[in-house]
Amino acid sequence: MKKLLIIDDEIGIRESLKNIFKREGFQILEAGDGVLGQELLEREKPEVVILDIRIPGKNGIELLKWIKDRKFKSEVIIITGYADIDLAVQSTKLGAFDFIEKPFSSERILITVKNAFDRYELKRVGESKVEEGKERYRIVGESEQIKKLKEQIERVARTNSTVLILGESGTGKELVARNIHLYSQRNLNPFVHLNCAAIPEELVESELFGHKKGSFTGAIENKIGKFREADKGTIFLDEIGDLSLRAQAKVLRVIENGEIQRIGENKTENVDVRVLAATNKDLSKEISKGRFREDLYFRLNVVVLKVPPLRERKEDIPVLIEFFSRKFAYEMGIEVKRFEQKLIDYLKEREWKGNVRELRNFVERVYVFVPDKIVKLESVFNIFEDETFNLPQPKNFKNYRSFIQEAERRFIEQKLNFYNWNVAKTAREIGMSRVNLMKKIKDLGIKSKGVEERSLPHDAEEESPNSTGQGAS
């Protein structure tokens, strides 16, 4: 049952209000002073409070401040006489839902209270969604880099500053942006995400600022645009380095004075939007090449957060695997799989060019393609997106021979891992004799990562020229 608390020292006012609301099915609570009002607030936690501005014990403004300081979720409606209008206006700045002058009509007070209950319910649902969002978009990891990033997010979220988020593709820049929004005072309002690189250049301005019907070919209806959509909330401009110079100028205008102008209109509109931006480009280089506005860069560069690549936080890989494993098990309605330690050790050493996104995709593919409850190293090699080894960069080597040796080392090491260090099988598959392969392993300094090498007996001889290893070395 909805609870309505009436705090007024005049018995006649309280009785009048009780008569108005008793037919609405509300549970009516009443107090004649601020002290009893506080007790009922703490004990009953009513959704809506009707509060007279002049009451004994504590006046209405003091009690309103106390309610907000204690973070009660109650919506407060102030009732006031004509002489206290200035105080009533002040109360709305302090967080009161509304104020009503005496004498008030039954219809006016009834509508205001119903609206206050609706507002309370909207906030309750919104706060529930915020908590769900915090769990859904939780940043996973216990490395020092991630702990530092989480601390920075919490500090930045409390401000209204523009934030530039830097990081490689797949590191989680959108996740950082969503967390800044979720932990901010704007979290009950919209979070709007726009990938600037995914929108054709000729449509970017329409997406950002909207357009008027008929303003260009294809504009068959009015469009409000992402900035208007994000009013009172947050807009996240992903890959902002791909915006055209013209669109950059308009984004700068919004950041500087909160003004937007729809395509096809002469008038401007004001919006209240916090801007978060991200890029994996070096914007200073883009500026030097004339592709990014320096003035916009300085406006974006107020607060910079750098998201570390996975190679700099490898200790988080087991935690991430566990997180994604539980996520996909829940979504697919199956038992959580366990990754053997040998596989985890291998994954910690593997290069993850796609960072956390690539690791997430790998775990999902394991759940799709590997039926075993315990996932082993030899079960997963055929489900990597790219099974080829990474060639070394020629510029890092002084001569051809050292380059070839490094490429050969990487090739053999990957094939050995693929076949679980079964030397005989590896030799057969790559067209090399076991003895030659053992010699290569020794000469190239290849060491097993926790896997027992299946080597040859000491008296093993070179395989015959008719074997599959003929001619490879």
More confidently predicted of 55 and 360: 360
Q: With 60 as the cut, is the pLDDT of residue 113 above it?
A: yes
- Domain 311-383 is in which class? mainly alpha
Burial 158-192 (b: 16+ CB within 10 A, else e): eeeeebbbbbbebbbbbbbbbbbbbbbebbebebb
Q: With 80 as the cut, is the pLDDT of residue 383 above it?
A: no
Boundaries of every domain in the chain: 3-129, 147-308, 311-383, 392-473
pTM of the model: 0.69
CA distances from 363 to 196, 206, 233, 370 (A): 29, 38, 34, 10
For the segment 119-127, the average pLDDT, to the nearest whole number, is 89
More confidently predicted of 327 and 211: 327
Task: Check whether the bond before 46 is cis (ω within 30° of 0).
Answer: no
pLDDT band at 374 (very low <50, low <70, confident <90, very high): very high
Q: Can you name the CATH fold of 147-308?
A: Rossmann fold (3.40.50)
Residue 196 per-residue DSSP state: G
For the segment 36-64, the average pLDDT, to the nearest whole number, is 89
Q: Which CATH superfamily is domain 392-473 in?
A: Homeodomain-like (1.10.10.60)
- Is 3-129's fold the same as 147-308's? yes
Q: What is the rounded distance in angstroms from the CA atom of residue 391 to the CA atom of residue 73? A: 60
- Domain 3-129 is in which class? alpha beta
Of the chain, the end-to-end C-alpha distance in Å amounts to 83
For the segment 216-244, the average pLDDT, to the nearest whole number, is 89
